[in-house]
A = this chain, B = another copy of it.
Amino acid sequence: MPDRPTSRDVARLAGVSRTTVSLVLNNVPDVHISPETRQRVLEAARQLNYYPDASARRLVSGKTSTIALVWHRGPDRTYRDAFLPGLLQGATRAARHYGYYVLFRPIEPDESDDAWVELARGRHTDGLILSGPRSDDAALLDLYREGFPLVLHGQLPGTDIPAVDVDNESGAMAAIRHLLALGHRRIGMITNAPLAYIASRQRLEGYRRALEEVGIPFDEALVHCGNFDEESGRQAMQALLALAERPTAVFIASDMVAVGALRALREHGLRVPEDMAIAGFDDIATSRYLTPALTTVHVPAFGLGWSAVELLIRIIEGDAPSETQVRLETELVVRESCGASAPQGKV
């Protein structure tokens, strides 16, 4: 590898000082450089194929122009992978739009929960997005209190750390209202995960509230917990089918879990939606290709990524909005599994 040209080389070739090179190439405003000199510098830089050294620039400017996306891979990692492409695309597009790079840092199950701290403390990045945060993380709170720019993807109850998440409760309500509109009155639920997860509690609360709206009392027997994966859905559905009085519809707060529930129904010889209506949540890539195609609540992964980065960068640049808790709306996607006819042309 031949020696890279530095700004000194450009200066020499253009017959000016290094300062002038810097002023010209960075287009510093309110500085007087003659058009001829400007041209000479530009030409010299072009001729040498000069690119300023990122490390030097970072050091002197104190800005890394980089943000990190910290991706916790916990017990829910397979579930969360479903959103990775969309979220990452939203995040990188927003980052690029504002002139930032994105460092991707998964935290594997065998790593310490705060292995990401060095990214902040070592000034590798100007800010962090933490996806799938743990609440018992003292390092997180320290950093936040010191004013380090931080945005969570997913909520952390009991803190006011800026966070971006989907509106789980209203999403669940939309699904239930859809089932109610189709005439169902005995509606069961399988949660996406144990109730230790806040998203599970919120989706359950949406279910409860939507029933309450129409005067249907909450019946604990109709609710079972899923645990991210297919198998948990299969077991939960089996439990519901063992009930003396079965529900006519089940809201399953995770499409991945719904896949297992559908299997249980097939194993019991029950048809969907004729014998039982099913509504899901998440709208993962697979959902539209299931038989029957799953009616579900779409989670805007791209929007979550974009919003998180946009919020983070505003915080980094000292332009934080007054409201730093962002909740994105979901959208009900009607397909086949509830028996409603889909709008023309939609898949």
Contact = CB atoms under 8 A, between A and B. Distances in A.
Interface of A: 1-2, 4, 49, 51-56, 58-59, 64, 66, 69, 73, 81-82, 84-85, 88-89, 92-93, 101-106, 108, 118, 121-124, 146-148, 259, 284-286, 289-291
A2 to B, nearest CB: 7
Given A102-B105, A146-B1, A52 B122 contact: yes
11 contacts: A4-B121, A54-B64, A55-B123, A58-B58, A82-B285, A84-B84, A88-B104, A92-B104, A93-B106, A102-B103, A103-B103
Contact of A55 (B59, B81, B82, B92): B59
A291 B64 CA distance: 49
Stoichiometry, copies per complex: 2
Contact of A101 (B1, B4, B49, B103): B103
A58 B66 CA distance: 14
A280 to B, nearest CB: 13
A5 to B, nearest CB: 10
B124 A54 contact: yes
Contact of A289 (B51, B66, B69, B286): B286
Please indicate which of the listed interface residues A54, A147, A291 has the most CB atoms of chain B within 10 Å of its own CB.
A54
B81 A85 contact: yes
A118 B286 CA distance: 37
A317 B147 CA distance: 37
A51 B146 CA distance: 15
Given A55-B58, A101-B105, A285-B285, A4 B123 contact: yes
Contacts of A148: 1
Contacts of A290: 289, 291
